[in-house]
């Protein structure tokens, strides 16, 4: 069985047009933010449902059922991980890899990135959304096979992230693998959210500067933040929370 694991619904709408083989699984989570407690998946799902303030039934129907397709995959399955380079996507991908790594089956795993973009492109950090069918086919053709070591490494990244172990995450980020490009930049962006000296995190400082020098309008702040810090991959939910906090303490 072949599975294409997509990060979010926006790609899921256009993906079928590319006629790429396999069943679609949609990751409807944003693990870059919020509660991550739980020693097993059941407890973890409960924590996440509480955090996003929906009932467990709603969360199960929208989110968990998609992950269960991975958990119930048959022997000799192939997983294509369609995740972008930014922190939002990478954290979700580490989590997915940790699930795949726990499966007692033979499997092949590939990372599919936006290889049709170069780093000077404004869409580089969040590039599947506007991709055309032909561009998606290019990305698929350029997919990167994950070795067993890569899969174990992905699980280690998730473990360090889940536990809030920034020192371990920084050490892991020094590891070189084509399956995890820009890892040092992405991990540094995450670590910069939590300065040891108790000052504001990097995103808050950027928002503060935008509010002070450009505009207090959230939509303009959002656009300018993306111009400066698209490495985070924040959606409007994550950024609005930070924006509200900055505005409150002005």
pLDDT of 206 > 80? The answer is: yes
**pLDDT tens across 108-117, in order?**
999 999 988 8
**pLDDT tens across 145-201, in order?**
999 999 999 999 999 999 999 999 999 999 999 999 999 999 999 999 999 888 999
In 3D space, the residue among 170, 190, 235, 168 whose CA is nearest the CA of residue 90 turns out to be: 190
The model carries a pTM of 0.96
d(Cα 27, Cα 66) in Å, to the nearest integer? 7
* Tokens coding 91: 């954290």
Q: What does the pLDDT read at residue 249?
A: 82
In 3D space, the residue among 184, 158, 144, 49 whose CA is nearest the CA of residue 100 turns out to be: 158
Query: Domain spans of the chain?
Result: 2-181, 202-248
Q: Answer for the pair 23, 69: CB distance below 8 angstroms, yes or no.
A: yes
Q: What does the pLDDT read at residue 102?
A: 97
Q: What does the pLDDT read at residue 130?
A: 82
**pLDDT tens across 12-64, in order?**
998 999 999 999 999 999 999 999 999 999 999 999 999 999 999 999 999 99
């Amino acid at each position: 069985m072949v599975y294409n694991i997509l990060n979010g619904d926006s790609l899921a709408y256009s993906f079928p047009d590319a006629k790429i083989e396999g069943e679609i699984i949609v990751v409807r989570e944003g693990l870059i933010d919020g509660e991550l407690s739980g020693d097993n998946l059941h407890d973890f799902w409960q924590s996440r449902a509480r955090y996003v303030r929906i009932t467990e039934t709603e969360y199960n129907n929208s989110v968990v059922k998609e992950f269960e397709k991975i958990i119930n995959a048959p022997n000799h399955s192939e997983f294509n991980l369609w995740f972008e380079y930014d922190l939002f996507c990478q954290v979700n991908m580490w989590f997915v890899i940790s699930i795949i790594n726990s499966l007692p089956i033979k499997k092949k795993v590939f990372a599919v990135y936006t290889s049709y973009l170069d780093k000077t492109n404004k869409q580089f950090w969040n590039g599947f959304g506007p991709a055309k069918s032909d561009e998606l086919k290019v990305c698929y053709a350029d997919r990167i096979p994950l070795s067993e070591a890569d899969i174990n490494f992905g699980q280690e990244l998730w473990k360090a992230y889940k536990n809030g172990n920034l020192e371990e995450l920084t050490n892991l980020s020094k590891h070189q693998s084509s399956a995890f490009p820009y890892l040092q930049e992405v991990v540094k962006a995450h670590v910069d959210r939590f300065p040891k000296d108790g000052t504001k995190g990097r995103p808050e400082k950027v928002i503060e500067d935008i509010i002070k020098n450009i505009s207090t309008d959230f939509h303009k702040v959002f656009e300018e933040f993306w111009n400066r810090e698209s490495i985070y991959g924040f959606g409007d939910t994550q950024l609005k929370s930070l924006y509200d906090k900055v505005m409150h303490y002005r």
